[in-house]
Each structure stands twice: as structure tokens, then as C-alpha cells.
Structure 1
């Protein structure tokens, strides 16, 4: 087995032994991963590699003065010999097994999370980046001969032939009925739905020999003795001849112009950093928001993120600060939505960007701020999805009403979802609820 096969096998083993995604998201160490590199713990799997002795330890065929000669007896192993799990004194090791990491990029993470949750979110393209020629599905009345749609031309000519075709011999026999004229034969043909023109009848009348006129006493007698053939029967017998093509039937294939759109997304992450947001609440925010960031990064061509922290006021922060920052102030959630609206309007127009606004906190808010300010702002901000995640370990507190008020006010809108996370076990359910709402 070559080195390339060894490396592929290493990745296969890592995939098999890595921590389950649900366990990783709910209980694993998310802080060791970056925005473009997700590290999921696995048991140690040594990557195959070549190892060389250090020069000062000699090489093949070289002794160091204490090396036995060939055939010389070797004594029993001494303490410290070998590469066992003991410490340097030979005692058994007490440390747990080391762990390495199975590394995923956001694209693989999104694919695996889709499989885990049974979802397949199809990202939407917004900004037109170029126009390209697609398949030749459009048609025009003019164009080069090489693009002439001959199949369409033939079909139009064939339809015309079938609509104009009639049994000429049958009509000629009608001209032999005694006492008839071209005019009477023409009227009889129209009554029988024989699509013959008056001019054709007049032209063919003179071709009937005089000795054959009066061969039939009536049209009824003629019909009883002469079989009328259908168009299909004649085509089968004689083949298809003289298909009448016309210039107005000509159509030229033209390539469809396809707009290639870049799948842009901006995600505004909002979190409460007020004094009530203690460590367990902050951890639940991190466990919910970080996987969503990775997922949307993997799904979209171009993903940008805005991080907003707030207590009574709001300010934009960097990603590294977002999950660890803490304040001691009060809470006014509307301040964050005002800042989000300002940033989105100025930098990420709705016509060009898919927009997600995700907020999280313990649902505690200043009096009437939710109904009077936050709900109207959420209605004003155009977004693919608004989500609010309530993080209240142990259940909802008495004064934590923000999530319920948002849900009550905006539940009829298809782009608003509210999730409740009281423990790590709830995180995957919240992520599923948010992503499945967007998919629907």
C-alpha cells in the first residue's frame, strides 16, 4: 500500500472515529475551531510517515560501544526500555488517551449536518455576476442557416399538408356522376369535409374524358362502389411527397441568456451581553450560533457575518469577541435591531444579498421594548429568516417574556422562528427548527 493510499485510509478511519456531530455540537469543544476549519475530536490515529534515527545515535552497521555483537546474548529488558505507556521510571501511565482532530471545512460540515438533520437547504442566488449563453431553447424568425430548426419547419409543413390533403381519385370519380357541374361537385365535397379548392375542381374537370362522364347515376352510387382512402393510407402506399414549406414557418434556434447569480449571504448575529447573561447562557448561545455560521459558510458562495453585542446599548464587535464579551448593564434589545437595520441598509442591500438575522438571549428585556420597538423593527428588516433563540437553563424565568411576545406577534409570518434552549440537549433541535423553517 502506497503513501497516498495510507493517507486516504487515515481520513477514512478519522471519519469513522470522529465524534458524532450531535455530540460535538451539544457537548464538544467548539472554541478550538475557526470560521474555515472545524476540528472534531477523534481518538489518536497516527499518520503514516517515515522516521529516521538521529545522527548521534548511529546508523545501520554502526555501534556505540555498548551494542552487542552478532550472536552475543542479550540480557532481559531493563526498566525504561521500549516505547510502552509507562513513565520514565517504568510505572504504568495514569494519563488518559490523547485525542487528535478530524478536520472539516464548512462545505463538508454543511453536507454532514444536512445528513444528520435530514435537510438540504438550497441557497438562493441574488447578485448577477455575469450573463452566459445557455442551451438553444429560444427561437427567433431570423438567423444563420446552421441554426435553422428543421424539425419545427418540417412539422409545420406536415401539418399544412395533412390539413390540405384529400383523395384526388375519389373526387375525380365524383366528377363522373351524371348531370353534375364543377360547382355542384365542389359543394358536395365541402359537405363531405373533403378539403378541395374550387380552383382544383375546375382545373381537373376538363381532364375527365367525355366517354367516362355519366358513369354513375348519383353520388350515393359512386360512394357505394368506390373506396375513399385516408391520408395515412395514401402516405403509407405512396410515401410522403411534396411537403409544402413556407418561409413563415422558418424558426432559428437561439441560445437562452442565463443570468449567473452569486449566492451571497450576510448573517447578523445578535446576542445579549447584559449582567443576566451568565456563563451557562453564553455557552448555549455559542453552541447554537457557531454551527449555524459554519453551515451557512459552507452553503453559500460568499458569506459575510456581522456580530452585534448589546445590553441597553448595542455595538458591533469582531467574531473573536462575540462569544466571550460580558457587560453589567441592563437590557434593551431594540438597540441591536436598530444597529442591524442601519448596517444592512448601508452595506447589504436586499436586492443583492440573502439576509439572516439571528438573535439570542435570556428573553429579558426592558418594559414594552419588545412590542413597541423590536417587533416593528423585525417587520421592517427584509430577511430570509429572523430567528430568536431563548437561552434559559432550567426553564423560562418569570420576567423572560421577549421570545413569547415575538412568537405571539409574528407567528403568522413565514420568515420568523423562535426556539427555546434550556440545555445542550436542546441545541440540535433549535438548529433544526431554524434551518427547516428557512428550507420551507
Structure 2
């Protein structure tokens, strides 16, 4: 086995033994991953081994006489018996790493989702299939099938039973003009020139074979075009220059699937560690999922108490203030950022907010709901995190749910423990999936 075989075997074992995705999201260490790499623990089985009894006691195999005392070396050090600090190299083998695209695919399978992102921003114009037609072009792009069909159609339209017309020329007293008029009356597409040539080639003795045209028609049966083609085939197809058409590629605008995710978190005094952890367990997998689904993903992190400010991702989940709560301040900042940096025509937008549903009086109804209506987005979501159950004044989620009961682009999820996280993620993503 080569190195590549070992690597593939390692990946196979890691895939088989890694922690269940839902279990990892609910209880695993999310902080060990990076935005572009999800590290999921592999369940390692420890093998049995020997170790020394630390108690200074005798026993079978203790020995005496020249036998070394416990703790003394029993031989010269061998190559490789060098001093070193155990564990310096780290245990990379203890994690299975997947990129966000693989994470999104696995989560789709795990939750039964099939979200298809929308392209927004034009990346480039490229040549598509050769579906358009022009009158000129290089010979290599000549649409010969089209040309042949046109020629064949003309051939069939111009075809007639020449022998049948020649028999008419053998009627006594029927000259070329009379036969031409007769043929036109029967809708035979024969030209006067053809009749003149055929008449000139007939011996004089044959020009009186039939006493009348009625007698000829009674004795001679016209053969239709289809029968003649089956019997004789087609010796040529008349092509014309004006029938030539050339294929050229359709110019296609390829849209890059861009997404911006605005993550909003309440950092007021009531958002203690348990609530903050539930926000992280819900938002982090959503970020990984959307990163894996879209060609290009950007994230905006907004923290708020009574005021709102933009923060880095590293600070987003840990920051805490001692102030009150005014959720509308975060939506005002989100609206400003989106309008200035992420136009709706160029970006898919997701606005995810989370907190314990506690808000200042009337702020939800008078400010938050109108702001959500003013911010166009693929999806607005609010995740309520209340580990100990609803507080008396925790009404924000219920008010949002009631105000947008008939909206297909707003969803509310409730998370009271890690057990609820996967269901909350499904609720959020399935709402977008159904909207698609």
C-alpha cells in the first residue's frame, strides 16, 4: 500500500467513526473548527496496554540477588530511546475534517433538505450551446441538417410523375401548350420548358398513341411521390445558397451565487452563558451550511443591547454587556450596512437574529416589525434562547411570529436546550427551502 492508499483508508475510517453530525452540533466543540473547515471528533477506541504498578510491593517476577531494583535500567538505551515531551505533535488523527460544502451536503441528507441557491451577481458572459442561427459564418458551423431538410422539402414540392406527363404528350392532338394547361389543372409542378423538351424527344409515331386524354387517364395510373421515392430513391437534393444557415453560440450570463448573512445577537445583561452557547450552536452550523451552498459568502456580525455595533466573528459569541435591550437598534444598523454594501439586486440576503426575546416596551411592534418589512431578504429568522423557559417579559419571538404569520420569508424558532438546536436549524432552512 502506498501513501495515497493510507490517506484514503484514513479518510474512510474517519468517515465511519466520526461523531454523528447532529450530536456534534448539539454537544460537540464547535470552537475547534474554522470558517472554511469543520473538525468533527473521531471516536477512538483505546487499545489495552501494560503499565507499571506504582506501589512499592513485591510479587511474582520481583526477583532478587543480581536482579535490578525497581526503577533501575535493565539494559543500554537503544536507538530511538531519546528524551522528549509526549504529545508535542498533537493528535490530528482524532478529527475528521470536512469543508463547508461537504457539511452542507451532509446536513441536507441528514435533515432531508434540498435548498437551491439563487444566482445574483453576473460573474461573466460565456458562450452557451449553439442554439442561435445566422445567415453567415464559417463552414464548420454550417447547419447541414437544416440545409438538407430545406432542400428535401423543395425536392418533394417540385416532384412529379414524369412518365405520367409523357403519356399525356402521346395523346393525339395534345401539343405542349395543351399538356401544360392540363398539368396545371391537376396541380402537377411541371414547367413548360420540361414539357417542350419531353415533346421534342418523342418520335412522331408515338404522339398519337391515345385518342383522347380521357382514354389515357383511364389506362395509365399516376404514381405518387412517396411510392416513387421508395422504389427509385432520390438521386439529388436541390440546395440553394439562400438556404444556408450557420449555428453560433448563445451568449449566456453566468450568475455567481453570492450571499451575505447578517447575524444579530442580544448581548445585554440577561444573555448569560447558557443562552450565549445556544446562539453559537444554532448560528455556527447555519454559517457553515450557507458557506457550503453559495459560491461566495460574507458575514456581518452585529451585537446589541440598547445600542448596536458591528463586531468581528471572534467577539460575536463571547461579548456581553450590562445594558438593557432595544432590538430595533440592531435592525437599523443591519439596514444601513445592507443598503450601503450589499445591494439586494446583487446579493442573496439572510438576516438571523437571536436572543432571549426580552425587549424594551413596544419596540418590537413599533420599530422591529416595520424594519424587517423594509429589509428585503431571502429569509428573516429569529431564534429565541431561553434555557429555563419563557420569562414573563420575553414576548419578542411571539410578537414576530404573530406579525408575520402569513409571510413565507420569516421564521421563528425556539431553543431551550442543545436538544432543540437541530430542530431549530431544520425549521430555519426548511422555510427557505420551501420558499424556493
TM range, smaller chain? 0.7 to 0.9
Structure 2 SS opposite 1:111: helix
The residue number in structure 2 matching 1:59 is none
1:220/1:79 CA distance change after superposition, 3 Å = farther
Choose from 362, 366, 376 the match for 1:368. Answer: 362
Distance across 2 between alignment mates of 1:417 and 1:162? 65
Residues 178-327 of structure 1: matches in 2 within 5 Å?
Answer: 189=183, 192-196=186-190, 211-213=205-207, 215-216=209-210, 221-327=215-321
Distance across 2 between alignment mates of 1:213 and 1:278? 115
**Following TM superposition, by how much is the alpha carbon of 1:150 offset from its aligned partner in structure 2, in angstroms?**
1.8
Does the CA contact (< 8 Å) of 1:143 and 1:252 recur in 2? yes
The residue number in structure 2 matching 1:391 is 385
How does the TM-score come out when normalised to structure 2?
0.80
Q: Does 1:357 align with 2:351?
A: yes
1:432/1:175 CA distance change after superposition, 3 Å = farther
Structure 1 SS opposite 2:400: helix
How does the TM-score come out when normalised to structure 1?
0.79
Distance across 1 between alignment mates of 2:176 and 2:108? 79
Structure 1 SS opposite 2:42: strand
The residue number in structure 2 matching 1:93 is none
Distance across 1 between alignment mates of 2:212 and 2:72? 126
**Following TM superposition, by how much is the alpha carbon of 1:159 offset from its aligned partner in structure 2, in angstroms?**
1.5
Distance across 1 between alignment mates of 2:425 and 2:182? 78
The residue number in structure 2 matching 1:345 is 339
In the alignment, structure 2 segments of 5+ residues that lack a partner are 47-65, 75-91
Distance across 2 between alignment mates of 1:215 and 1:294? 94
**Following TM superposition, by how much is the alpha carbon of 1:360 offset from its aligned partner in structure 2, in angstroms?**
1.5
Structure 2 SS opposite 1:103: strand
The residue number in structure 2 matching 1:144 is 138
The residue number in structure 2 matching 1:431 is 425
1:369/1:166 CA distance change after superposition, 3 Å = farther
Does the CA contact (< 8 Å) of 1:137 and 1:253 recur in 2? yes
1:333/1:212 CA distance change after superposition, 3 Å = farther
Does the CA contact (< 8 Å) of 1:14 and 1:45 recur in 2? no
Structure 1 SS opposite 2:309: strand
The residue number in structure 1 matching 2:329 is 335
Distance across 1 between alignment mates of 2:69 and 2:135? 94
Give deviations 1:364-403, integer Å, cap 9, x for gaps.
3333333332222222222222222222335544443333
Structure 1 SS opposite 2:322: coil
**Following TM superposition, by how much is the alpha carbon of 1:351 offset from its aligned partner in structure 2, in angstroms?**
2.4
Distance across 1 between alignment mates of 2:127 and 2:105? 30
**Following TM superposition, by how much is the alpha carbon of 1:404 offset from its aligned partner in structure 2, in angstroms?**
3.2
The residue number in structure 2 matching 1:25 is 25
Residues 54-73 of structure 1: matches in 2 within 5 Å?
Answer: none
**Following TM superposition, by how much is the alpha carbon of 1:27 offset from its aligned partner in structure 2, in angstroms?**
1.5
**Following TM superposition, by how much is the alpha carbon of 1:305 offset from its aligned partner in structure 2, in angstroms?**
0.6
Distance across 1 between alignment mates of 2:112 and 2:184? 66
Distance across 2 between alignment mates of 1:396 and 1:228? 94
Distance across 2 between alignment mates of 1:322 and 1:170? 94
The residue number in structure 2 matching 1:92 is none
The residue number in structure 1 matching 2:117 is 123
Structure 1 SS opposite 2:11: helix
**Following TM superposition, by how much is the alpha carbon of 1:77 offset from its aligned partner in structure 2, in angstroms?**
11
Distance across 2 between alignment mates of 1:34 and 1:392? 27
Distance across 2 between alignment mates of 1:116 and 1:80? 57
1:216/1:326 CA distance change after superposition, 3 Å = farther
Structure 2 SS opposite 1:43: coil
Distance across 2 between alignment mates of 1:218 and 1:380? 91
**Following TM superposition, by how much is the alpha carbon of 1:26 offset from its aligned partner in structure 2, in angstroms?**
1.1
The 10-residue stretch of structure 1 (340-349 or 204-213) with the greater mean CA deviation from structure 2:
204-213
The 10-residue stretch of structure 1 (175-184 or 346-355) with the greater mean CA deviation from structure 2:
175-184
Q: Does 1:404 align with 2:403?
A: no
Distance across 1 between alignment mates of 2:176 and 2:393? 100
1:228/1:102 CA distance change after superposition, 3 Å = same
1:399/1:77 CA distance change after superposition, 3 Å = same
Give deviations 1:334-363, integer Å, cap 9, x for gaps.
211111111111111222222211111223
**Following TM superposition, by how much is the alpha carbon of 1:22 offset from its aligned partner in structure 2, in angstroms?**
0.4
**Following TM superposition, by how much is the alpha carbon of 1:268 offset from its aligned partner in structure 2, in angstroms?**
0.6
Structure 2 SS opposite 1:22: helix
Distance across 2 between alignment mates of 1:181 and 1:404? 99
Q: CA RMSD in A?
A: 3.3
Structure 2 SS opposite 1:297: helix
Task: Figure out how many residues of one structure are paired with residues of the other and give that number.
Answer: 398
Give deviations 1:145-167, integer Å, cap 9, x for gaps.
23222222111111221222222
Give deviations 1:60-92, integer Å, cap 9, x for gaps.
xxxxxxxxxxxxxx979968999xxxxxxxxxx
1:246/1:397 CA distance change after superposition, 3 Å = farther
